[in-house]
Every structure is written in structure tokens, then in C-alpha cells.
Amino acid sequence: MKNPFHVMIIPTLGCPGNCAYCWSSEEGSPIMSIDTIHDIVRWLKSFRTDPVTFTFHGGEPLLAGAEFYRQALPILADELSELTPDFALQSNLWRMTPEIADALAAYHVPIGSSIDGPKEINDPQRGDGYYEKTFAGYEIARSHGLTVRFICTFTNKSVLHKEEIFNFFMDHGFPMKLHPALPSLRGDSPQEWALPPEEYGELLVFLLDRYLENIDRSEVMNINDLVRCVFTRHGTVCTYVDCMANTFAIGPDGGIYPCYRFVGMPEYVMGNVSDCPSLEELADSKPWKLMQEYKAYVDSACGDCSHIRYCRGGCPYNAIAPTEGRIEGVDPHCIAYRRIFDEINLRMNREMFETPTVSARRRQRTKPGVMALVQKIVSK
Ligand code: SF4
Ligand code: SF4
């Protein structure tokens, strides 16, 4: 199963923040020109015909400024109207201004931002002042009618406060989307903040339980996705499908990459939008072939795993970036995926197939089960 066509636009790799576990570069890094937006339009006109979602990502995409969005959004929306573009933006919100919020609101651009929990947990890992700057931007965005959701990165330090972090999201009425901190590709101590896969697996099971105990008051997007994967037997987010060929990222200079995570790594450039490369030309590039090799590797390495249909070896970036492009294993988070997929399967089978009297008795004495989550997800 393929994920929908998704083009990530990276207006700059620069970022004013300095999160301890991040890889973006300093503010002052080059900004995409509007000519490149025109090149994206020319490229896509001859490239694909199916609906597209554009996500502005970074670095910090708001560094491009209000004028960039005032020009880029109508160009993409009007000149590619046959692709019925949807838009999204991922930002720490520090540089949100009423002018940028107006430009985004005109195209109903939903925003994903990042906060790692209460200030005393967030700021030690994201930098002093982060919490206040992000919430100031959040207030501007909300006052212009923009929707904001937060991603929470769990590090090996913040995971010790998982209960507090879950309560923070629930008490604020924020749906939680989480990321595990990855080993850093810069600096001398890559594991300093990284969340080990075993702990990530236990965190997902913890969140499943807390979510079920508070099913009417909370939302954990990753758990929704994982339950949906198991129930439908298909991956429903990029991590659990073959993302190649449906996800692309465009760097500030128009370079085309397999995903935003590779932007800025020259060895992963597949082409440039100014050359309007065809699918065949991109498929002839080294990064594309490497991603295909990874897919074939997953077919054999994960061949005996009962979760392969809706896991697909996880994220190729996680698997190949830390080894400098050598395929030496699947996504190291495999341990976490197995843990949570096993748990959901076990609970789902028990709830669906045990005799009605046993399941009625169990329901009376326990919290809602994963089938209650399935009902919640399908009723949306
Ligand atoms: S490389 Fe990873 S993060 Fe990027 S689209 Fe693929 S699965 Fe998603
Ligand atoms: S859980 Fe692990 S072994 Fe199974 S498909 Fe996913 S990555 Fe492969």
C-alpha cells in the first residue's frame, strides 16, 4: 500500500532554536527563492497528476518571512489547481507574526509545532526560553484561526517524566504526536539524548494504557496510527509503508531528496526541480536505487516477521543515515515496533475472539480495550 503524494518544501535549513538533539543549522542559512517555487510548479506539472500535499518544513520555515508565503501559496495553489494541493507547515513558531499568520490563514494551513512537555522538562532539552517563545507564536497563530498541533520528542531524559508529559498534553487538550529522539549525526556523543528502542517500545505501551484509561479526554496520534495499521493490516503513515516514490523533499536550492530528513546531505540529491526531471530520471539516481535496495532488503530481513505488511521495516532514514548509506539492518526502532505491534495484536485478538461471557466479564472489570480505540478512529 502506498502513502499519498507528499512534497515537503524546505525553504531554509536555518533555525533560530538550538535544540540539543537536532541537526538543523544556524539562522542565516540560504532561503529558497520564489523562482524555485515556480520551478516546483513546472516540475510537478509534468511529473504527477494525483492530489498533492505540500508541507513547509525546515530548519525553521518561518524564517522565509511573510512575503515568501504571500507569493508561494497562491502560485502553488493556483498554478497546480489540477493537483488540488493541500498545505501544512511544521514550525517552532518563534518567528510567527500577524503578517505570516494572515498569509497562512488565507490557505487554511494547519501547523505542526513542537513542545516536549511542561517548561521545566521542555527547556532543558530544547533550550532556555523555547517554551515561552513557542507559546507566544501559538497565541498569534490561534488568534488568526490557525490550527496548531504539537509533536513531543521523548529523549532518554524526558522519558523519565512520561506521566507528567502525558498529563500536560491531556490537561491542555492537545492531541499528542510523539517522536523518539534519534542518535545525533553531528557532535561527538550521538547517544547523549537518543531514546533507546527498548525504552521507546515500553513508552508506546505506557501511552496505549494511559490513552485507554482516558479515552474521552486524550488523543495519542501515534497510537491511533498503530491501531489502524494492525486493524487494517496496512501501513497508514510513512514509517510503515514503502515511502519511496510518493514522498519527496525540495531543499532551499531546488535539490530533490527522498525525504526532508535527507535535505542538506549532498549524497541524497536525486535531481533539481529546475531541470524538471522525470520519474525515470529520478529512479536512475543513486539515492533512489539505495532506497529500492532497502525495500528489497526489508523483504528478506523482515520476511519472517508477522508485522511486515503494516511495518515494512520502518523508516529507511533511521536505517541508512547513521551507517553512511550502508544497508546493515532495518530501522533500529524495530524492537519498539515489534513490542507495540505484538501488544496491540494480542489485545485485539483477545477482545475479538474470546467467548462473549469471558469478554463481558473482562470489560466489567477493566478499562476500555483497543477495539474501543478502533471505534473511536472509524467514527471520526
Ligand atoms: S524516510 Fe522515514 S520519515 Fe522520511 S518519508 Fe520515509 S519513512 Fe517517513
Ligand atoms: S517489526 Fe521489525 S522485523 Fe517486523 S517488519 Fe518491522 S522492522 Fe521488520
Q: What is the DSSP letter of 4?
A: P
Q: By three-state DSSP, how is residue 26 classified?
A: strand
Contact 372, 347 (CB under 8 A): no
Asked whether 260 lines ligand 2 (CB < 6 A), one says no
Mean pLDDT of 6-19: 91
Instruction: Output the pLDDT for position 364.
Output: 59
Composition of the chain by helix, strand, coil, percent to 5: 50, 10, 40
Distance 40 CA to ligand 2 centre (A): 35
The answer to whether 191 and 271 are in contact (CB under 8 A) is: no
Ligand 1 atom nearest residue 314's Cα = 7
Per-residue pLDDT at 220 exceeds 60: yes
- Which single residue is written with the C-alpha cell 485507554? 212
Closest CA relative to residue 262, chosen from 277, 278, 247:
247
Integer-rounded Cα radius of gyration of the chain: 21
Q: Per residue in 314-352, pLDDT tens?
A: 999 999 998 989 999 999 999 999 999 999 999 999 998
Contact yes or no for 296/221 (Cβ under 8 A): no
Q: Which atom of ligand 2 is nearest to the CA of 330?
A: 7
Residue 16 is predicted with a pLDDT of 84
Report the C-alpha gap between 281 and 88 in whole angstroms: 28
Of all residues in the chain, the percent with pLDDT exceeding 90 is 81
| C-alpha to C-alpha distances, 181 to 28, 141, 153, 154, 241, nearest whole angstrom | 25, 26, 6, 6, 21
Please report how the helices 221-232 and 197-213 are oriented relative to each other, as an axis angle in degrees rounded to 10.
90
Q: What is the pLDDT of residue 367?
A: 76
User: Distance from the CA of 334 to the center of ligand 2, in angstroms?
Assistant: 5
pTM listed for this prediction? 0.92
> What is the Å distance from ligand 1's center to 237 Cα?
9
Distance from Cα 354 to the centre of ligand 1, integer Å: 37
Rounded to whole angstroms, the Cα distance separating 273 from 36 reads 7
Give, for 275, the enclosing helix (H) or strand (E): none
Could you give the CA distance from residue 68 to residue 98 in angstroms, rounded to a whole number? 14
Positive or negative CA dihedral for 246, 47, 24, 170? negative
Atom of ligand 2 nearest to the CA of 312: 5
Query: Which ligand sits closest to the CA of 312?
Result: 2
Supply the pLDDT for residue 28. 75
For 368, the 3-state DSSP assignment is coil
**Cell numbers for 159:** 522519558
Q: What is the predicted pLDDT for the residue at 359?
A: 61
Give residue 242 CA to ligand 1 midpoint distance, Å.
9
CA pair distance 325, 337, nearest whole angstrom: 22
Q: What's the chain's length in residues?
A: 380
Strand, coil or helix: 89: strand
How far is Cα 82 from Cα 78, in angstroms, rounded to an integer?
A: 9
Specify the pLDDT at position 4: 85
Report helix, strand or coil for 247.
strand
> Which DSSP category does 252 fall into?
T
Q: 188 pLDDT exceeds 80?
A: no
- How far apart, in whole angstroms, are the C-alpha atoms of residue 365 and residue 275? 63
- Please, what is the average pLDDT of the chain? 93
Q: Residue 362: which pLDDT band, with cuts at 50, 70 and 90? A: low
Ligand 2 nearest atom to the CA of residue 337, by list position: 1
**Which among 7, 177, 242, 243 is the best mutation to test ligand 1's pocket, defined by most ligand atoms within 8 Å of the CB?**
243
Ligand 1 contacts (CB < 6 A) are 238-239, 243, 247, 259, 261, 315-317
Q: Is the separation of the CB atoms in 258 and 270 below 8 Å?
A: yes
Q: Atom 3, ligand 2: which residue's CA is nearest?
A: 302
Mean pLDDT of 285-290: 96
Q: In sequence order, what E strands does the chain have?
A: 6-9, 14-15, 25-26, 53-56, 86-90, 111-114, 148-154, 176-180, 247-250, 255-257, 271-272
Split at pLDDT 50, 70, 90, the class of 183 is confident
Which residue among 1, 247, 290, 327 has the greatest number of ligand 1 atoms within 8 angstroms of its CB, and so is best to mutate? 247
